[in-house]
């Protein structure tokens, strides 16, 4: 009897901690303190997939879209100003970081992002109701669909939020990439006088300056930045106002003009523009594909750079060891004194993930049918994740790795002098055949090219010193026979 009584008490207490809400499918108890409502609750129940909520930048960008819509609807006279101002105030709170824990729908959710849109509509509505001194759930004051979602559809708001969030993160990524480019360029100047052996096919090649290697890395990042900038321009073309199928149904004729103007002011992105074709803007995901492709290109360059640095720093006794990476942390739980290139390893893993994300985005982009691509949630998640991890990865890689790289000058000099690639420098002076013979003998006898040339009296010491001048070997020069 006591157990039954206790159970009854718990159930009664739980009911007191809930509010009853209804939607077209029926009624449900929503936690009384929750700002989300019944449709969000259904999404929580339907999609217990990854436990991953929407990214912070997307929550903010989406709140900006809702704010702009309220401003536009007030400007056209479609929305009561008292209600509109309360919605604006609620969205401002979300933009500044409040209520983000109320966005609880898994990133793997209903197609097109309807669940996220309703999550936002309900949170904004309930906070706006409170602002007007009402109680959460009293949608007679402000309704999630009728007021917060006025003149909108999931089909145009979600892609617009995706574009704005993408632009924000792209700007931050470019800033961090510029810092990486500058750091690599700085190392290029610092190492410009250090001669070493180049390697092609992982074999000895002609002499090169360590600074030239780092200049190439800097240039690769510079070109990646340019490609990302070009690709991100497509995100500035907004399909907002398209509503359900690109026709603009249920919107005021002036709504589109007003919401674009409001978004420019709210986001600070002054060159936002309406899409030329609204149907294309909600059915095609090509702008996201293009940006993802540019990020994949960056990831490939970062993998190349990270792998090179790992090879060049390999050792310290049994590897190439021409550079020394800063020690970030102990490298082994069992081998004392071991230090690993952990920052380069991290950058590799980040880049692998970005390449995988690009494949997901490509598959989702081609999976749209007719007037809508319903795969936007997974496109959004993967694109924003790529931007976020590239941004963070580039930042810490620059700060904790690139800035602290040192050259092992003695090892570079030693390897350069031992390189069989020096035989190539002799070609214009003694001919390819004789240079080949010198190279073979040097390998067989474990001697340097210089030693064989002098020993065989092919050239005098003065001549070979001039030919093998360290800086001259890494530049163009006129050869007179």
State the Cα–Cα distance between residues 186 and 199, nearest whole angstrom. 23
| Number of CB atoms found within 10 A of residue 326's CB | 15
Calpha distance 134→153 (Å, rounded): 26
Name the residue among 300, 291, 54, 64 with its Cα closest to residue 173. Answer: 291
Q: Which of 189, 187, 208, 184 is nearest to 197 (CA)?
A: 208
Burial of 471 (0-12, 13-18, 19+ CB in 10 A): exposed
Q: What is the DSSP string of 312-362?
A: HT--SSSS--SEEPPP-SB--SSSTT-B--HHHHHHHHHHHHHHHHHHHHH
Phi (first) and psi of residue 408, to 5 degrees: -95, 85
Helix (H, G, I), strand (E, B) or coil at 401: coil
Distances in Å between the Cα of 58 and the Cα atoms of 127, 167, 176, 191, 239 are 19, 11, 20, 42, 17
Dist CA 145 CA 153 (whole Å): 10
d(CA 156, CA 146): 16
Dist CA 177 CA 223 (whole Å): 11
Which residue among 50, 175, 332, 460 is the active-site one? 332
Q: Are 114 and 97 in contact (CB under 8 A)?
A: no
Give yes or no for a contact between 30 and 104, defined as CB atoms under 8 angstroms apart.
no
Give phi and psi for 457, each to the nearest 5: 55, 35
Rounded-to-integer distance, Cα 348 and Cα 342, Å? 10
Distance CA 46, CA 106 (A): 10
332 catalytic residue (yes or no): yes
Q: How far is it, in rounded angstroms, from Cα 127 to Cα 72? A: 20
Q: Which residues are catalytic?
A: 332
């Amino acid at each position: 009897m006591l157990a039954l009584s206790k159970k009854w008490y718990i159930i009664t207490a739980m009911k007191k901690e809930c509010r009853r809400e209804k939607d077209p499918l029926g009624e449900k108890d929503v936690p009384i303190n929750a700002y989300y409502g019944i449709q969000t609750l259904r999404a929580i129940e339907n999609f217990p997939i990854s436990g991953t909520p929407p990214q912070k930048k997307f929550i903010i960008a989406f709140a900006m879209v809702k704010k702009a819509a309220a401003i536009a609807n007030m400007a056209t006279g479609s929305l009561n100003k008292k209600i509109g101002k309360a919605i604006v105030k609620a969205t401002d709170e979300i933009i500044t970081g409040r209520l983000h824990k109320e966005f609880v729908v898994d990133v793997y959710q209903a197609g097109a992002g309807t669940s996220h849109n309703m999550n936002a509509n309900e949170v904004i509505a309930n906070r706006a109701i409170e602002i007007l001194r009402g109680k959460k759930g009293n949608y007679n004051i402000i309704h999630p669909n009728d007021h917060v979602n006025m003149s909108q559809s999931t089909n145009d708001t979600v892609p617009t939020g995706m574009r704005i969030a993408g632009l924000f993160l792209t700007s931050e990524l470019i800033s961090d990439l510029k810092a990486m480019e500058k750091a690599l360029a700085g190392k290029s100047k610092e190492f410009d006088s250090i001669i070493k052996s180049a390697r092609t096919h992982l074999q000895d090649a002609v002499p090169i300056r360590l600074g030239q290697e780092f200049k190439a890395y800097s240039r690769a990042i510079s070109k990646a930045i340019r490609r990302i900038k070009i690709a991100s321009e497509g995100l500035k073309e907004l399909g907002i106002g398209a509503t359900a199928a690109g026709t603009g149904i249920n919107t005021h004729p002036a709504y589109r003009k007003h919401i674009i103007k409001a978004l420019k002011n709210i986001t600070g992105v002054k060159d936002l523009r309406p899409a030329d074709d609204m149907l294309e803007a909600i059915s095609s995901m090509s702008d996201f594909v293009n940006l993802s492709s540019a990020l994949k290109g960056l990831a490939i360059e970062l993998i190349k750079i990270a792998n090179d640095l790992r090879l060049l720093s390999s050792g310290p006794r049994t590897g190439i060891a021409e550079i020394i990476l800063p020690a970030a942390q102990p490298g082994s739980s069992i081998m004392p004194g071991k230090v690993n290139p952990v920052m380069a390893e991290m950058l590799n893993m980040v880049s692998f993930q970005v390449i995988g994300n690009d494949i997901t985005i490509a598959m989702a982009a081609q999976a749209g049918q007719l007037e809508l691509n319903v795969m936007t949630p997974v496109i959004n998640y993967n694109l924003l994740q790529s931007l976020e991890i590239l941004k963070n990865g580039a930042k810490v890689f620059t700060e904790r790795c690139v800035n602290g790289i040192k050259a092992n000058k003695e090892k570079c000099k030693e390897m350069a002098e031992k390189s069989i690639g020096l035989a190539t420098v002799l070609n214009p002076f003694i001919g390819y055949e004789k240079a080949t013979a010198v190279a073979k003998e040097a390998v067989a006898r474990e001697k340097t090219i210089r030693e064989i040339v002098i020993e065989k009296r092919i050239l005098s010491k003065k001549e070979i010193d001039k030919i093998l001048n360290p800086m001259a070997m890494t530049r163009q020069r006129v050869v007179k026979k």
